[in-house]
Amino acid sequence: MPEISRDEVAHLATLARIELSDAELDHLAPQLSVILESIASIAEVAAADIPPTSHAVPLTNVFRADEPRPGLTAEQALSGAPEAEQQRFAVPRILGDEQ
Amino acid sequence: MSAADLLRRSAAELADALASGETTSVELTRASLDRIADVDGAVHAFLHVDAEGALAQAAASDARRAAGAPASALDGVPIAVKDVLATEGLPTTCGSRILEGWVPPYDATVVARLRAAGLPILGKTNMDEFAMGSSTEHSAYGPTHNPWDLDRIPGGSGGGSAAAVASFEAPLALGTDTGGSIRQPGAVTGTVGVKPTYGGVSRYGLVAMANSLDQVGPVTRTVLDSALLHEVIGGHDPLDSTSIDQPLPDLVAAARLGASGDMSGVRIGVIRELGGEGYQAGVQQRFDEAVRLLVAAGAEVVEVSCPSFVHALAAYYLIMPSEASSNLARFDAMRYGLRVIPEGVENPSAEEVMRATRDAGFGDEVKRRIILGTYALSSGYYDAYYGQAQKVRTLISRDFEAAFAQADVLVSPTAPTTAFRIGEKLDDPVAMYLNDIATIPANLAGVPGLSLPAGLAPEDGLPVGFQVLAPALADERLYRVGAALESLLEKEWGGPLLDRAPALEGARR
């Protein structure tokens, strides 16, 4: 198992949309290495012919009748929004200036 | 009847007292609220107390009883709810800054069922942030203290719910268990906690950490109380696609049957891999004594081996963070919760706002798990980690299957140690993770588990937990065996273990 480097942690944090400071990277990167080391044994355990289990109980699709039923009102849905405008979630710009 | 006397009674006894007119829900609820005011400064089990709402619900309950139409056996018995369950009109923070002040516009199904059954909701209990932890120290709002020793942890993630019932602030509480978050706090606080069969209790409105492992369950002081509460919250819910569409077994009857203490014809399997090395001497001693009591009561005991359990912790720490990293993507600063505008950035983009918000809103343990999960799911590592972990999950289920062919229930210590000191393992994640070594296999296989007090470890005088595991959908076996052991132990002790917990009156932080 490859050790997880400080740069790799920084990259993963970017993928996970978490802005980590240098101090946080110094603190978290070595801890993550230790955690990974402690679970490394897993790679050698199960043979190829063992089927994977994603859920303990077998899942099947669950359907309901396609009939309208009450949901949240717009006011309820927006009640926790950091910012709302015209019955919509107001968000920061999505695109860059050049796009 | 004095308030102190009311507070120490079990929920079943309180239900009888309400039915006979000996007390009222308003009196009970007020006694709980007064107790919270007295001791929660020291214990810090609650993140939010809803005195006004609870008393209004209590008054409504008393009106129903007066009209001869109680909504359920537990109508009027107050309850505390873990802060990971959505409660309409009450803050739900999951112990995180990112949800500080969030008030959900809907109830979790289990909360709706509490309301329908008439249980006044006292407030929301403290927890490790997003249920990630085994000590409640990872709460953004400060740790909960163990009522047995205020310098020690109450377990986690549901340390608030366990401490609330252990300190007699509430007769009942709801918890959630992803890798042991109901059972391990139960063990270290001398209380009872049950993780039902996966799918046995609705997860709708439970803020998800790991969907395939999370389960809501009862947190109480007696086995019968857990059965009563389990019957209120359990059963099929069309709002949860993983909910099992069949009736619950008769749990209360099983608990009442078990209370006779007769274990004739019951086969009990002691799991070889969950004991011995790595388990505190006093924990092992109390566990062994409890097994001997069951044998004396007529149980047949066999040793069973579950060889794949040694890999359960590793599999869990791949599956859980993988699911968590995906689930927690919803905290994006757009629709609810915290929004932090990054400093020194002109006209920041949505992505920059997201990154700044998630850095400010999440604590260390949440960041560790999100990054670990992101790593385990990335291409190139997926097969080696997540794929392997899913195969180990199959092996663990097969171990359970083989063991349950030899025994009706399996038993082990709930946690390898008694409560440790606050701060002791905070920056040593791997040491923290080991607390759940005996509880995790049940979550991976979806089988139900119960923890009840087995006594105090001689070396430190702190509670030890005894775990009972049953096959999926056979939750009633937990209650039969749990209630039997409870009555056998209490006969030896001359009363409940919690009678020996220190009084908290006057304790201040």
A70–B contact, CB cutoff 8 A: no
Query: ∠ at Cα B164 (B25, B278), nearest 5°?
Result: 145
Residues of B acting as catalytic residues: 82, 157, 181
pLDDT at residue A2, as a whole number? 55
- Under 8 Å between Cβ of B102 and A82: no
| Whether A82 contacts B338, CB under 8 Å | yes
- In 3D space, the residue among B233, B210, B9, B285 whose CA is nearest the CA of residue B121 turns out to be B233
Total of domains in chain A: 1
Contacts of B364 in chain A (CB under 8 A): 27-28
d(CA B490, CA B504): 23
Using a CB-CB distance cutoff of 8 angstroms, which residues of chain B are in contact with residue A98?
A: none
pTM tops 0.90, yes or no: yes
Q: How far is A85 from chain B (nearest CA, A)?
A: 12
| Chain A residue numbers touching B89 (CB-CB < 8 A) | none
Residue B218 main-chain phi, psi, to 5 deg: -80, 145
In degrees, rounded to 5, the angle at the alpha carbon of residue B28 between the alpha carbons of residues B22 and B33 is: 165
Q: Which tokens go with A35?
A: 């955690």
Are the Cβ atoms of A18 and B355 closer than 8 angstroms?
A: yes
Distance CA B265, CA B257 (A): 14
Does B353 reach chain A within 8 Å, measured CB to CB?
yes
Which amino acid is located at B10 in the chain? S
Query: CB distance from A20 to chain B under 8 Å?
Result: yes
d(CA B153, CA B147): 9
Nearest Cα to Cα of residue B330 among B112, B130, B128, B85: B130
Quote the distance between the C-alpha of residue B206 and its chain's center: 13
Reported as half-sphere exposure (CB side, CA atoms, 13 A), residue B309 has a value of 24
Which residues in A lie closer than 8 A to residue B102 (C-beta atoms)?
A: 80
- Residues contacting A35, CB < 8 A, separation 6+: B317, B368, B372, B429, B430, B433
Instruction: In whole angstroms, give the CA distance from residue B344 to residue B267.
Output: 67
In a domain, A18, yes or no: yes
Task: Give A17's contacts in chain B (Cβ within 8 Å).
Answer: 329, 332, 351, 354-355, 358
Nearest alpha carbon to residue B208 among B307, B151, B131: B131
Chain A contact present for B330, CB below 8 A: no
Choose among B183, B212, B158, B162: nearest CA to B397. Answer: B212
Residue at A49 is within a domain:
no
Residue B406, min C-alpha distance to chain A (Å): 21
A34 belongs to a structural domain:
yes
Question: Distance from B369 to chain A by nearest Cα, in Å?
Answer: 9
- Whether A23 maps to a domain, the answer reads yes
* Min Cα separation A3/chain B (Å): 12
Query: Which residue from A minimizes the CA distance to B427?
Result: A31
User: What is the model's pLDDT at position B509?
Assistant: 52
A23 in B contact zone (CB under 8 Å): no
**Out of A9, A34, A92, closest to residue B353 by CB:** A92
Interchain contact, A82 vs B336, CB within 8 Å: yes
Measured in degrees and rounded to the nearest 5, phi and psi for residue A72 equal -70, 145
The shortest CB-CB distance from B444 to any of A42, A45, A56 is to A56
Using the Cβ of A69 and the Cβ atoms of chain B, whether some distance falls under 8 Å is answered with no
Instruction: Give ipTM to 2 decimals.
Output: 0.93
Element containing residue B233 per DSSP (H, E): helix B223-233
A43 and B388 within 8 Å at the Cβ level: the answer is yes
Domain carrying residue A10: 6-44
Residue in chain B closest to A48 (alpha carbons) equals B391
Find the angle CA(B499)-CA(B138)-CA(B165) to the nearest 5 degrees.
20
pLDDT digits (tens, 9 = 90+) for A33-49: 999 988 888 878 867 78
Residues contacting residue B197 through CB under 8 Å, at least 6 positions apart: B215, B244, B446, B447, B448, B472, B473, B474, B475
> Alpha-carbon distance B169 to B144, whole Å?
13
d(CA B192, CA B272): 23
Give B220's strand partners: B172, B192
User: Any idea which fold B3-309+394-500 has?
Assistant: Amidase signature (AS) enzymes (3.90.1300)
Q: What is the total residue count of chain A?
A: 99
Mutate to test the interface with B, among A45, A61, A83 (most CBs of B within 10 A): A45
In the DSSP assignment, the letter for residue B184 is H
CA B463/CA B413 separation, integer angstroms? 11
CB pair distance less than 8 Å for B370 and A16: yes
What pLDDT score does B508 carry? Answer: 55
pLDDT tens, A17-33?
Answer: 999 999 999 999 999 99
Residues in chain A closer than 8 A to B351 (CB atoms): 17
Average pLDDT, chain A: 88
Full strand arrangement of the beta sheet holding B300-304: B46-49, B121-125, B79-82, B172-176, B216-220, B192-195, B449-456, B463-469, B409-413, B267-271, B300-304
Helix (H, G, I), strand (E, B) or coil at B261: coil
Spatial separation of the C-alpha atoms in residues B147 and B495, rounded to whole Å: 18
C-alpha to C-alpha distance for B190 and B294, rounded to whole angstroms: 19
Give the model's pLDDT for residue A98. Answer: 58
pLDDT of residue A40: 85
- CB contact A59 to B (< 8 Å): yes
**Spatial separation of the C-alpha atoms in residues B503 and B488, rounded to whole Å:** 25
B486 CA: distance to closest CA in chain A (Å) = 29
Q: Where are the domains of chain B?
A: 3-309+394-500
Cα torsion A74, A80, A81, A84: sign: positive
pLDDT by residue for chain B (509 residues), tens digit each? 688 889 999 999 999 999 999 999 999 999 999 999 999 999 999 999 999 999 999 999 999 999 999 999 999 999 999 999 999 999 999 999 999 999 999 999 999 999 999 999 999 999 999 999 999 999 999 999 999 999 999 999 999 999 999 999 999 999 999 999 999 999 999 999 999 999 999 999 999 999 999 999 999 999 999 999 999 999 999 999 999 999 999 999 999 999 999 999 999 999 999 999 999 999 999 999 999 999 999 999 999 999 999 999 999 999 999 999 999 999 999 999 999 999 999 999 999 999 999 999 999 999 999 999 999 999 888 888 899 999 999 999 999 999 999 999 999 999 999 999 999 998 888 888 999 999 999 999 999 999 999 999 999 999 999 999 999 999 999 999 999 999 999 999 999 999 999 998 766 55
Q: What stretches of A44-90 show up as alpha helix (H) in DSSP? A: 74-77
List of chain B residues whose C-beta atoms are within 8 Å of the C-beta of residue A65: none
Give domain status of residue A36, yes or no. yes
CA-CA-CA-CA torsion sign (B255, B259, B263, B269): positive
Query: Could you tell me whether strands B409-413 and B267-271 are parallel, antiparallel, or unpaired per DSSP bridges?
Result: parallel
CA max distance for chain A: 57
Cβ contact, residue pair A80, B336, below 8 Å: yes
